[in-house]
Structure 1
Amino acid sequence: MTASPSRADEIRASSILPARREDVELHTADGLTLVGELALPAHRDPVATLVTLHPLPTHGGFMDSHVLKKASYRLPATADLAVLRFNLRGVTSPRGTSQGAFDGGVGERYDVAAAIELAEFHEDPPLPRRWLVGWSFGTDLTLMYGLDPSIEGAILLSPPLRYSRPEHLAAWADSGKPLLALVPEHDDYLRPDEARERFSVVPQARVVGVDGAKHLWVGEPYVRRVLDEIVAQVNPTALPLPTTWPAAEQRHEPSPTVRA
């Protein structure tokens, strides 16, 4: 008798798909220990790696900011990606509290370097083809401190261009490394037309305006659009991403109050 196929359920905002998940610690050059998590494909080595940098801590940003958390919950299974998330200095999440205190984008340079170093030298398994994925404040950190030889390129979600300066964009232009900016139509800080003008100094930058979206990317359609664009840049052979997954392989978490 042929076994009936397992039921597939829609991937929802609360879905957690199979992955190997390990708590990690990052050690900065100025002596701090930061806490994080590395999510890996469940049964194979990753084909590429996302090193994520979260939104502004003073406005609620942390390693569990929802788009980054959903990337870690889905992309190891659906796109064979490794996803590194961590709390910047002084930031708390259920994973724990990173040492230090918010430094307005100055001391955070060491946090970015520590994350890149962990990804570069992780051995079991190796973490190949490393990309930075910054969101809001995390995009400024990416532009200011992310031009490391071990980084292939960067993806910017809702870049405000608040802390970064023209010289940082000029350095990315000179590097030739890919730069993708996803800019919400109704962003609070930088909207698509202005973003295209300001990123025009980086010839290889691609600015994608997302109709209807806001700075926090609230709503499952916008989360899926972000994840689709990330995968299109990093591992396009995985597209289209599935919208369902075997029910027996999904876990779910309670829907939290939206925080950046």
Structure 2
Amino acid sequence: MSFDPASFVFTPQDSPSEIRASTVLPAARENVEFTTEDGKVLLGELALPESGEVTATLITLHPLPTHGGFMDSHVYRKASYRLPALAGVAVLRFNTRGTASPRGTSDGEFEEGIGERYDVEAAVRFAVERGLPNRWLVGWSFGTELALMYGATEPVAAQIEGAVLLSPPLHRATDVHLKEWAASGKPLTVLVPEHDDYLQPAEAARRFSVVPQARVVGVDGAKHLWVGEKYAARVLDEIVDDVTAAGAGADGLPRQWAGRVATS
């Protein structure tokens, strides 16, 4: 049975508590699905602020499904748990073709980033049709390849503001795609762990130098999977700084919450 995000049970607190990996903050959450141009039905979840305007929309592209990546990969799960409440940010997570999670399994099979072009286009189209504003691609590992390969070309380019990349390996994405981003002029933030398995900060700065508007940020101590609350929180701060006018604040997003909470 597909996981129902409405099943979270929220309870009031007598005093503020620390936001932990399993903390779920209030949001309007719903299971969603959308169909690609080649007929694949993709499954996902949309988390919106309970009230107030949507300040930005994240369209998340998960790590490699053949190595455990899916819509619930921990940084994206934490984004959906926190950002609607803390920053008014909508978070769209979904399984690319052939990928499974507790939400269910999307149609199709893994296609090495080629057929996944239709997945990116369908996710962006869904966000547009739902009227979600200020849309950004957020790619992690394999997801960065999809963002780089398809985010700066039509029909996606006209429908997004820019992209944030987490741990880009630059395996499938080439200098051709980087030059397309350069020509688009769209913002590109690249978060690179100091101890990444594939591309470390100095080499990332060199590779992304062909994109004048790219901002490459090396994160001391971090690894490819951003394991540890310290690093996941840093990623969310950087994303909110990039995609919202207010940003995460001088001290980053709040690390405590005084309202209703649930536990995942």
Residue 86 of structure 2 aligns to a residue in which SS? helix
For residue 47 of structure 1, report the CA deviation from its aligned partner.
1.4
State the match for 1:206 in structure 2.
Answer: 215
Distance 1:178 1:50 in 2: 14
Gaps spanning 5+ residues in structure 1: where?
Answer: 254-260
State the match for 1:250 in structure 2.
Answer: 261
State the match for 2:29 in structure 1.
Answer: 21
C-alpha distance after superposition, 1:104-161 (max 9, x if no partner)? 0010000000001001111xxx210000000000000000011220110000000000
Residue 158 of structure 2 aligns to a residue in which SS? coil
Q: TM-score, normalised by structure 1?
A: 0.92
Contact map agreement 1:181 1:208 (CA 8 A) in 2: yes
Distance 2:113 2:192 in 1: 21
Distance 1:210 1:250 in 2: 30
Contact map agreement 1:78 1:238 (CA 8 A) in 2: no
Distance 1:26 1:54 in 2: 17
State the match for 1:135 in structure 2.
Answer: 140
Gaps spanning 5+ residues in structure 2: where?
Answer: 1-12
Going from structure 1 to structure 2, the CA distance change for 1:28 and 1:234 (only over 3 Å counts) comes to same
**Higher alpha-carbon deviation: 77-86 or 43-52:** 43-52
Of 207, 214, 223, the residue aligned with 2:232 is 223
Distance 2:53 2:106 in 1: 28
Residue 70 of structure 1 aligns to a residue in which SS? helix
State the match for 1:57 in structure 2.
Answer: 65
State the match for 2:16 in structure 1.
Answer: 8
Aligned residue pairs, count: 245
Q: TM-score, normalised by structure 2?
A: 0.91
Percent identity between matched residues is 65
Contact map agreement 2:136 2:160 (CA 8 A) in 1: yes
Match for 2:141: what amino acid?
A: S
State the match for 1:146 in structure 2.
Answer: 151
Distance 1:9 1:194 in 2: 40
CA RMSD of aligned residues (A): 1.0
State the match for 1:256 in structure 2.
Answer: none
